[in-house]
Structure 1
Amino acid sequence: MSETIGFPDPGLDLSDGFKPHTSHWGVFSARLKEDGLEVRPYAADPDPNGIIDNFPTALRHQARIAQPAIRRGWLERGAGPDDRRGRDEFVSVSWETALDLLAGELARVRDTIGPGAVFGGSYGWSSAGRFHHAQSQVHRFLNIALGGYVRSVNTYSSGASSVLLPQILSGYEDITKRNVTWEQIAAETDIVLAFGGMALKNSMVAGGSISKHVERGAMAAARRRGCEFVLVSPLRDDLPAEAGAEWMTALPGTDTALMIGIVHSLVSAGLHDQAFLDRYTEGWPVFLRYLTGEADGRPKDAEWAAAICGVSADTIRGLARRLAGRRSLITVSHSLQRAEHGEQPVWMGLVLAAALGQIGLPGGGYAYSLGAIGYYGRRVNAVPGPTLGQGRNGVADFIPVARIADMLLKPGTPYRYNGETRTYPDIRLVYWAGGNPFHHHQDLNRLRKAFAKLDTLVVHELAWTATARHADIVLPCTMTLEREDIGYSTNDPLMVAMHRIAEPFGLARDDYEIFADLAERLGAREPFTEGRTARQWLMHLYEPTRKALAAQGLAAPSFEEFWASGSLVVPQHLDDGGSLRRFREEPIERPLPTPSGRIEIFSSKIAGHGDADCPGHPVWLQKTDVPSASSPFFLIANQPVTRLHSQLDFGGHSAGAKHRGREVARMNPRDAGARGIADGDIIRLFNARGSCLAAVHVTDGIAQGIVQLPTGAWYDPVDPEEENPLCVHGNPNVLTRDIGTSSFAQGCTGQITTVEVERFKGNLPPIRAFDPV
């Protein structure tokens, strides 16, 4: 059963020459005038995202790439390892020359080594449009023209949880997209305990298009009804003011211990839901032996937890009492599992929710990563959207996405992943289209060394990011505003006809056009294009949606009608709580897709892997990165407010939030005062891996002992000839540690590290990250 719910659609305002478009941070319309680009948000959005204001200055910025370019060393000496990547000059060439050289190199690797020597990187959000989605385009090209490629699995955002959750609870998308909704929280929830929070800066963006930002309003409505919000985070703004949250600061990385202490308090007071545990879970008695200390002689009580996490034992016991017997919701953010042993808080949060017995009830139970992205906590569309087929990958090999530097530095080396011992492939060519590893990867000085090992690095990019500057062949691609597409998300009812707003910058071309001409040189144009132009592909990809609407007896406009109107509202399923609701109602008839068919508090399968850093049930494990004399501060490297990751960092909205051109870090007044640091100063953050400069904002909205510096400032080394150059712009990933969460999931650990901080007293180096090359 489906219907469109609560979505009065005034349509996009296309008066005065405005055209419809959309992005990961919101639907909008735009027009190009003599004095520049003008954008305005979708009128029905109750809380528009200001990131769309990055577009006007970004469209024709000097950082845009105007024509194809080849690194001089590669052009003169040919393919091969080269430590000059990232510091060599580029030679501008014609499209014909660039594509001929690239096709020859692709053919060489394919025919002499094999497609298993090609890595299709392309990790990134790219366009909200479903056809010009760079990952889909490059993977389709590599599959059809080369016969395949080594791929990556999982994401930097959810590397640990996406491997763990399907084995202990349910499919990852089922838990995130078909579970607790914001509507339920507003209407049903009594108390939300949010580990890591639900920051609006995260939920303001989505993997596809997003038309309405509802999170702020839902939390405000829940609070008015009497719902309590408790935030466990070092950052007060990890919940918005509208939630009226009680702010609790635990030491970073110790949430698992705090959760264990709460569960012990529930059990000690007889407040846990034993009937739920008996009926719906697997392995509670095994975990209970760990909890009570029967297994190791140390009860994991509130005092034990307090000594680790810094929250008082009385507060821990009080939290247990407040949660018990109410419609309680436990949320765990992505940030908790982007750290060493990141599997543990995800699993332990589930155990806490199970002990409270609320899983599967509307607005209750467990909501992993709610608030982490815009389409979580919403209803699901009842018709298919446009999807570009990627063909068949003839190469079976893959790596966990955050292990790219390991792969390039240690080919042939064995490693553990998801219970298997695998071997890193020997990669000679990396093809990157969409994404910027010098944003999302850790220990960037190590990544520089890894890229130096390649024969060839190919990058499609619209601007001179650090990744483009490390490439051998750089092909300029269009910005979303410079092409036509269809914007769509599976959890948003507004499909958008993305009209072209502006002509391409310089000689930039669509990825599809680039790949079509490359495929022709490799004898594969027809199977790649299927004889269609880009507009014909849009018509083809729209057709399944039209047919599905017609099959439901709903208005099914033709493509031409859809394109002229600018948008289409599609039906959504009635909320049913997904697999967890069905499991709660009928645990025998509708089991979970876990080995036991139940919630796995103890997993025999995971225990059987024998990996000490991820045993068969959640435990507290001490982290490698803890404050020391040389690095006394925790560094929180979280997502930025004024851009999506590093996208359009040179845009006006992003640039306007910087100070003296630098990214802004935050410190507690006591920490800043102890080091003679004042608000607005430039500081140097450093540890054994690297150093960077940032401006500082001194605020009591951050816990003592913490420095927070968002990711996404483009990597800008002051002297790239040095072994570990200073990044003058404020990229925290020169500081973060490049290790996996565990040998089980091998996820990213970029959220937390340790650093020293000092006031910068030298001559301030200029920012060159956005200079043309």
Structure 2
Amino acid sequence: MSFTSLHWGAYRPQVVDGKLDAMVPVEWDSDPSPIGASIPGAITSPTRIMRPAVRRSYLAEPGSHPERRGQEPFVEVSWEVALDLVARELKRVKTEHGNQAIFGGSYGWGSAGRFHHAQSQLHRFLNLFGGYVFSMDSYSLGAGRVLMPHIVGNMDWLLAAHTSWQNLAQHCELFVAFGGLPAKNAQTSPGGASEHLLSRALENMSEAGVQFVNVSPLREDLVGPTNNQWLSVRPGSDTALMMALAYVLVSEGLHNEDFIRRYTVGYERFRQYLLGHVDGQPKDPLWAQTLTDIPAPQIIDLARRMARQRTMINIAYSLQRAVHGEQPFWMTVTLAALLGQIGLPGGGFGLGYGCMNNTGSGRKAFSGPRFSQGVNPVKDFIPVARVTDMLLNPGAPFDYNGKRMHYPDIRLVYWAGGNIFHHHQDLNRLLEAWKRPQTLIVHEQFWTAQAKYSDIVLPATTALERNDIGSSASDRFMIAMQQAIKPVGESRDDYWILAQVAERLGFGESFTEGRDAEAWLRFTYDESRGRAQEQGIELPDYDTFWRDGLFEITYPDTDTVLLKAFREDPEANPLPTPSGRIEIFCERIASFGYADCPGHPVWLDKPVAQYPLQLLSNQPKTRLHSQYDHGAYSRSSKIRQREPLTLNTADAHARGIVDGDVVKVFNERGAFLAGAIVSDGIRQGVVQIATGAWFDPLVNGERNSLDKHGNPNMITADVGSSSLSQGCSAQTASVDIVKWDQALPPVTAFEPPSMT
């Protein structure tokens, strides 16, 4: 029985009479993800796209009636017709408007394999075609990815170098988790998760006596450890809490002056602000108590514990997905610098332990084979969360990371892998923007909203229907993903599709370099052997790897401790920042002149809440983002077919809501239905729902139509976190809820569109 590697785990596919019957978790994974159980039924469900399809009026007249996207039937066509149409449209837009009028979207976890990675395939194709407008950063980590290179270093480098779980079990005494350590998030790794680590890591740390503090509105954000204190903080106030902790350290002389002097710059500027010498407001525990709802004595006690114990401070990605999202990340680093434990075993800071499976693995950060995307001749780009702004406001100026830029005028969007109707905020606003381009082309496996709201839909294979190599940086195994079943329907892999279009456009040979998919697997594997050797990894030859089915990545000779070399000799091992040190005050950021992100960490007031409840829309447990929401595991979690929403007992009682009720969640941007879970494990005044329920409006294409299924982005705000990063701000949203007392509209999210 062969292997396959998916974002949420490694499995042995079981095939009976040519059909996928089950996904058996690999024997070495002690905590496998149950998401794999969704695949056998979902892969051939009615939701599967079986043939190329074109929106009816678009087929009759390409570029016509963009306002009908999502509202009219599709026409199934042959591959020949579909590919000719794609090639003609690309050529027309390039000729009439230039390559800067093409947006290569493809945002999302398109595929686990390293070759059949949808983004890489499309971007290589578009680069060879003359370029495209691209996106920077990510919805998950937009603010952090822009901020961290200024103050410590690149996020990818930092994540790969995080102190290992093994080291934490041996040396950490206190683990303070802002945003918790939710096990559901640690199911996944980009490129594939071959062995799940978090549950066992927490167990080992707990047995070693490590104390945990879960700073989160949700008790379930950290479960398992024996010594586990829950601080039910008000959402969006973590920066204020960290500042009050810092105030205690500084005012009581508990901070490490020697570390600050040798390893940081800008402390005195921040200190003046912290003590209130700049604005007249000391950032003390009494000040923070009013913002966080954490009593001042608890704040003081925690600060003193952090100072006398070996402390790891961790922050979840979700805290920077908010207005002023840069501030909690910056303050995490600053607070850790004040403690002076950065670079020591068991201490310092973490930026996303528990957010992905491979963070903290301690293994060598070898990512496996790579498929070259080439060079993009077009230099126009947008921060990824500003898609709607780009489409609605061509030519308008925007700020980003110290630059003044302008939105391009997009006429054609080409997307392969991803679902913008999951990732993006304020879907009503997105629907308006989605009518602006002349052509929308998508490669998809299933009839998601992304496909339903497109013009040309090309059916793509799943990971089970092709050969590939699964590999994730710092994960345990590189896996030979051997094809388990034949492609369903007329689906084709992205490489085949793009090679066919490239041939029609006259650069087929440049795209393929004379190789089919199997030859590329061998080529990219062989090419990766040199990079592996640089890290002390001896890969077997390709035939041996493919026969054995997997290869284990070893650990480094010494245990991984984040910034250990920098601490040991900051002159010989400077950080890649302007000063070479940790920048508590950053002259470069200050020079940008952004009022919403000045030169050091600050407390900035949040937008005034218009509704009584704060909405948290975090990652789901039963799927990755929106992938396989139509699968059995995800659908089993629904309440009366709606996505579950958790609310506090008191908030539910005040509204006459009980477990299992369907509720309407609303604000000025829209509304959605959800199934209620009443719990004391969420703080009062907060409601929580996972992202990823497939978009299902009551009336397709109609602005302000009720979403029947539970997609929280109907009501999240589409504003940038700051002028620095323009990151996603989904966690800054206020709502109200009422019990739904009307007939329930049927959920149709998983039904394919009508065909003519």
Q: For the superposition of Structure 1 and Structure 2, which TM-score range results when normalised by the shorter chain?
A: over 0.9
Instruction: Find 1:345's aligned residue among 328, 342, 353.
Output: 328
Q: Where does residue 240 of structure 2 map in the other structure?
A: 257
Query: In the alignment, is residue 621 of structure 1 matched against residue 604 of structure 2?
Result: yes
In the alignment, is residue 692 of structure 1 matched against residue 672 of structure 2?
Answer: yes
Counterpart residue number, 1:218: 201
Q: CA deviation at 1:557?
A: 3.1
Retained in 2: the 8 A contact 1:384–1:544? no
The AA in structure 1 aligned to 2:126 is L
Which deviates more from structure 2 when the two are superposed, residues 289-298 or residues 542-551?
A: 542-551
Residue from 684, 706, 710 that aligns with 1:726: 706
- Matched with 1:364 is 347
Matches within 5 A, 1:635-674: 635-674=615-654
Structure 2: runs of 5+ lacking an equivalent: none
Check conservation: 2:163, 2:562, Cα contact below 8 A: no
Q: Answer yes or no: is the 8 Å Cα contact 2:342–2:562 preserved in 1.
A: no
Question: What is the aligned partner in structure 1 of residue 230 from structure 2?
Answer: 247
- Asked whether the 8 Å contact 2:336–2:342 carries over to 1, the reply is yes
Matched, 1:70 2:54: yes
1:138-196 alpha-carbon deviations (Å, 9 max, x no partner): 0011111x211000000000000000011001121222110222111111101011101
State the shift of 1:547 in Å: 5.3
Partner of 2:395: 412
Shift of 1:687: 0.4
Residue by residue over 1:233-253, the C-alpha shift from the partner in whole angstroms, topping out at 9 and shown as x without a partner, is 011111122364211011100
The yes-or-no answer on 1:706 pairing with 2:690 is: no
Provide closer, same or farther for how the CA distance between residues 575 and 159 of structure 1 changes in structure 2, counting only shifts above 3 A.
farther
* Amino acid across the alignment from 2:578: P
2:471–2:477 CA contact under 8 A, matched in 1: yes
Following superposition of structure 1 onto structure 2, how do residues 153-164 of structure 1 map, counting pairs within 5 Å? Answer: 153-164=136-147
Q: Matches of 1:273 and 1:554 in 2, distance apart?
A: 39
**What per-residue deviation string (whole Å, max 9, x for no partner) do you get for residues 606-636 of structure 1?**
111111000111111111152x4xx210000
Whole-Å separation in 1 of the counterparts to 2:226 and 2:528 = 38
2:167·2:561 contact (CA, 8 Å) conserved in 1?
Answer: no
- Aligned residue identity for 2:201: A
Which residue does 1:152 correspond to in 2?
A: 135
**Aligned mates of 2:251, 2:367 — CA distance in 1:** 49
Aligned alpha-carbon RMSD (Å): 1.5
1:362 aligned partner, one-letter code: P
Q: Could you say which residue in structure 1 is the equivalent of 2:361? A: 378
AA aligned to 1:720 is N
DSSP-derived class of the 2:415 partner: strand
Deviation at 1:273, TM superposition (A): 1.1
Partner of 1:106: 90
Residue type at the aligned position of 1:689 = R
Residue in 1 aligned with 2:189? 206
**Structure 1 residues 387 and 764 mapped into 2: Cα distance closer, same or farther (>3 Å)?**
same
Contact 2:366–2:474 (Cα < 8 Å) also in 1: no
Cα separation, 1, equivalents of 2:699 and 2:69: 13
**Residue 88 in structure 1 maps to residue 72 in structure 2:** yes
Matching residue within 275, 282, 286 for 1:292: 275
- Does residue 119 (structure 1) correspond to residue 113 (structure 2)? The answer is no
Contact 1:265 1:301 in 2 (8 A): yes
Quote how far apart the aligned CAs of 1:751 are: 2.3
1:118 and 1:427 in contact (8 A); partners too: yes
The residue type paired with residue 474 of structure 1 is V
Alignment-mate amino acid for residue 191 of structure 1: L
Deviation (angstroms), 1:102 = 0.9
What SS does structure 2 have at the residue aligned with 1:48?
coil
Is 1:716–2:696 an aligned residue pair? Answer: yes
Question: Does residue 1:434 correspond to 2:414, yes or no?
Answer: no
Going from structure 1 to structure 2, the CA distance change for 1:668 and 1:551 (only over 3 Å counts) comes to closer
The whole-number CA distance in structure 2 between the counterparts of 1:106 and 1:225 is: 60
Q: Which residue of 1 aligns with 2:309?
A: 326
**CA-CA distance at 1:380 after TM superposition:** 4.1
The residue number in structure 2 matching 1:6 is: none
**2:113 is matched with which residue: 126, 129, 134?**
129
Q: Are 1:169 and 2:152 counterparts?
A: yes
Q: Given the alignment of the two structures, is residue 470 of structure 1 paired with residue 450 of structure 2, yes or no?
A: no
State the distance in 2 between where 1:188 and 1:349 align.
Answer: 20
Aligned twin of 2:465: 482
What SS does structure 2 have at the residue aligned with 1:266?
Answer: helix
**Residue identity opposite 1:90 in structure 2:** F
How far is the alpha carbon of 1:552 from its aligned partner? Answer: 8.9
Tell me the equivalent position of 1:746: 726
- Which amino acid letter does the alignment assign opposite residue 61 of structure 1? S
Partner of 2:219: 236
Cα distance, 1:752 vs. partner? 3.3
CA contact (8 A) 1:637 1:752 kept: no
Preserved contact between residue 216 and residue 242 of structure 1 (Cα < 8 Å) = no
- Cα 1:220–1:552 change in 2 (3 A) is closer
Q: 1:73: how far off?
A: 2.2
Contact 1:635–1:755 (8 Å) recurs in 2: yes
Distance 1:548 1:105 in 2: 39
Kindly indicate whether the alpha-carbon contact (under 8 Å) linking 2:52 and 2:457 is maintained by their aligned counterparts in 1: yes
* CA displacement, residues 227-278 of structure 1 (integer Å, 9 cap, x when unaligned): 1100110111111223642110111001001110111111111111111111
Separation in 2 of the partners of 1:470 and 1:80? 14
Q: Deviations over 1:22-58 (max 9, x none)?
A: 1011111112114752111111112111111111111
Amino acid in the other structure paired with 2:207: R
User: Does the aligned pair in 1 maintain the 2:182–2:355 contact within 8 Å?
Assistant: yes
Bigger mean CA offset, 537-546 vs 283-292: 537-546
Aligned equivalents of 1:116, 1:308: Cα separation in 2: 46
Q: By how many angstroms is 1:384 displaced?
A: 6.0
User: How far 1:544 moved relative to its partner?
Assistant: 2.9
Contact 2:126–2:132, Cα closer than 8 Å, also in 1: yes
Aligned partners of 1:301, 1:472: CA distance in 2, in Å? Answer: 56
Match of 1:677 among 645, 657, 662: 657
Residue 318 of structure 2 corresponds to 335
Residues 625, 641 of structure 1: alpha-carbon distance in 2 compared, 3 angstrom cutoff: farther
Report the TM-score, using the length of structure 1 for normalisation: 0.95
Tell me the SS of whatever aligns to 2:212.
Answer: strand
Aligned with 1:200: secondary structure?
coil
Q: Secondary structure at the residue paired with 2:225?
A: helix
2:744 pairs, out of 733, 742, 764, with 764
Kept in 2: contact 1:715–1:731 (CA 8 A): yes
Secondary structure at the residue paired with 1:31?
A: strand
**Mapped partners of 2:66, 2:170: distance in 1:** 59
In 1, the alpha carbon distance for the partners of 2:212 and 2:467 equals: 43
Return the alpha-carbon distance in structure 2 between the equivalents of residues 759 and 752 of structure 1: 23
- Mapped contact 1:383–1:545 kept (Cα < 8 A): no
Amino acid at match of 2:30: P
Q: Is the 8 A contact 1:149 1:393 kept in 2?
A: yes
**Please, what TM-score do these two structures have when normalized by structure 2?**
0.97
Counterpart CA distance in 1 for 2:554 and 2:244 is 44
What's the CA shift string for 1:462-498, capped at 9, x where partnerless?
Answer: 0000011110100000111111101011211311110
2:198–2:354 Cα contact (<8 Å) kept: yes
> Is 1:317 equivalent to 2:300 in the alignment?
yes
Question: Secondary structure, in 3 states, of the residue corresponding to 1:321?
Answer: helix
Q: Which position in structure 1 is the counterpart of 2:162?
A: 179
Deviations along 1:693-719, whole A, 9 cap, x unmatched?
A: 000111111111111011000000011
